[in-house]
Amino acid sequence: MSTIHVEIVSAEREIFSGDVEIVFAPARMGEVGILPGHAAMLTPLRPGEVRVQLVGGEQQAFYVSGGMLEVQPKVVTVLSDTAIRAHDLDEAAVMKAKQEAEDALANRSDKLDFTKAQAELAELAAQLQTIQRLRRRGG
């Protein structure tokens, strides 16, 4: 029986890679089963189980909390999310990041002060150079 190559990865690690007979995934519009030779397809995934059937009939299951499924004629890629995604949660993250920046930067102009930035960097560079010189001399 022909096989199809499946790769399941998340942003933080590789989860599964190998040749399988069939792969089932919880697509947005309903569970899909992909056999070798499937047409190219791109679809988001719902949270659920991705199952692969290895050659010989053994099945393995992986939980995904969402993600994307890409089907190419010879390879299926599951890009799994690690974070739980929802519009509200994303908005909350945005609000938090904005708020924190505002809190930290209150009473300050939006204009970058180049002279100040450069003076500061020059000072840091001078410090580093001094340390290096001292080291060379000492060593």
Partner 1 sequence: MAVGKEIRVKIASVQNTQKITRAMEMVATSKMRKAQERMRAARPYAARMRNVIAHVAAANAEYRHPFLVSREVKRVGIIVVSTDRGLCGGLNSNLFRMLVQHMKRWQAANVEFEVCTVGRKALQFFQRVGGKVSGQVSKIGDAPHLAQLLGPVKIMIDAYLEGRVDQIFIASNDFVNSMTQKPDLEQLVPLKAEADSELTQHWDYIYEPEAQEVLDQLMVRYVESLAYQRVVENIACEQAARMVAMKSASDNAGKLIKELQLIYNKARQAAITQELAEIVSGAAAV
Contact residues: partner 1, CB under 8 A = 7, 9-14, 17, 27-29, 39-44, 67-68, 70, 72, 77, 79, 81-84, 89-90, 93-98, 100-101, 104-105, 108-114, 116-118, 120-121, 124-125, 128, 131, 134-135, 138-139
Q: Which is nearer to partner 1, 58 or 94 (CB)?
A: 94
C-alpha distance from residue 47 to each of 7, 79, 111 (Å): 17, 12, 44
| Minimum CB distance to partner 1, residue 57 (Å) | 27
Taking the C-alpha atoms of residue 72 and residue 36, their distance in angstroms, rounded to an integer, is: 9
Report the residue number, 56 or 111, with the smaller CB distance to partner 1.
Answer: 111
Q: Given the complex with partner 1, which of 41 and 61 has the nearer CB atom?
A: 41
CA distance 122 to 68: 47
Closest CA relative to residue 62, chosen from 29, 28, 1, 18: 18
In whole angstroms, the minimum distance from the beta carbon of 96 to partner 1 comes to 6
CB of residue 48 to partner 1, shortest distance in Å: 15
**Distance in Å, CB of 27 to partner 1, minimum:** 6
Question: Using an 8 Å Cβ cutoff, are 51 and 31 in contact?
Answer: no
- Pinpoint the alpha helices (H) of the chain: 87-104, 114-138
- 2: amino acid identity, one letter: S
Compute the distance between CA of residue 7 and CA of residue 41 in angstroms, rounded to an integer: 15
Residue closer to partner 1 (CB basis): 61 or 95: 95
CB of 63 to partner 1, least distance (A): 16
